[in-house]
Amino acid sequence: MFVVKVPGINGLGKTLGCEKAGNEIIKVLKEEIFSNESGFPVELNKIDLEEIHLDNSNLDSANKLIYKNALETFEIKPKTLFLGGDHSVSFSLVRAFLDYCEGIKGKEPCLIVFDAHPDCMPVVKSNEKHPNHEEWLRCLIEQGFPSKNVLLVGIRNSDVQEINFLKKNSIKFIGMNSLLENIEETCEIIMEFSDKKELYVSLDIDVVDPVFAPGTGRLEPGGLTSREFIYLIQRLNKIKNLRAVDLVEINPLKDKDKLTVKLGAKIVSEMI
């Protein structure tokens, strides 16, 4: 697994601190996570680790750099984990993934997003090249990502404008109630939905209940437990056509007892 830190933020001032998540996760991984739950040692010196160095005061430049590096990564690496940053970084990452798939005959892109929110707010015209963390998915779809290949999981708080956008574009979603009624069935739905496609998974930490992951910007009660989230990651990691994962919206400055950063590190250990 290739791991890339992407410390980008564009969250209307609400996500300041998320740019520190990658370094903090790697630090915990190095000092406190000795093995994953399958018993495999976590040896940081054997992890292929890089960072995209960004200037968050220049959003156009930052997004172009994320896109360029991601596209190159998809062309040479079989599987990559991107550590954000807030959810705005997913726009350029997935845009590069879309262009990579479209450039190769027979590769159909698929996007599964775990999030408490749809992130489909109307895109401000001046943000079309660098949508913020509340607009990124809508902007991506409006710029060509096939909506039939998008699945949202864990949604539990949506603006009316977002609900209308999901309905208009026939975007499939699994709400938290449905997810928890039968987590095994949800895993099967995900596997069937992504079958024969190139899979990108985006993980917003706020899909987890704030009791277990308080270090994020938009706290939404009623989410997954950390145990449920880890189980889902373990199942996802077994999907053979999984090409990329991003983990976003972890904010060390808002964390309590490093619970959220530690959960992020544990997720990384399960992925690698």
What's CA 138's distance to the chain center, in Å? 15
Structure confidence by residue, pLDDT tens digits, 212-230: 999 999 999 999 999 999 9
Q: What stretches of 74-222 adopt beta strand conformation (E)?
A: 80-84, 109-114, 150-155, 172-175, 198-204
Q: Which pLDDT score is estimated for 46?
A: 85
CATH number at residue 108: 3.40.800.10
- Tell me which amino acid residue 97 is: F
How far apart CA 161 and CA 92 sit, in angstroms, is 23
DSSP H or E segment with residue 246: strand 242-248
106 — pLDDT class (breaks 50, 70, 90): confident
CA distance 84 to 262: 15
Domain that holds residue 170: 2-271
Work out how many domains the chain is built from and give that number.
Answer: 1
Nearest to 113 by CA among 47, 205, 182: 205
Q: What is the pLDDT of residues 88-101, one digit of tens each?
A: 999 999 999 999 99
Provide mean pLDDT across the span 77-96.
98
Rounded to an integer, what distance in angstroms lies between the CA atom of residue 227 and that of residue 155?
18
User: Tell me, what's the pLDDT at 45?
Assistant: 85
What does the alpha-carbon distance between residue 120 and residue 222 come to, in Å, rounded to a whole number?
21
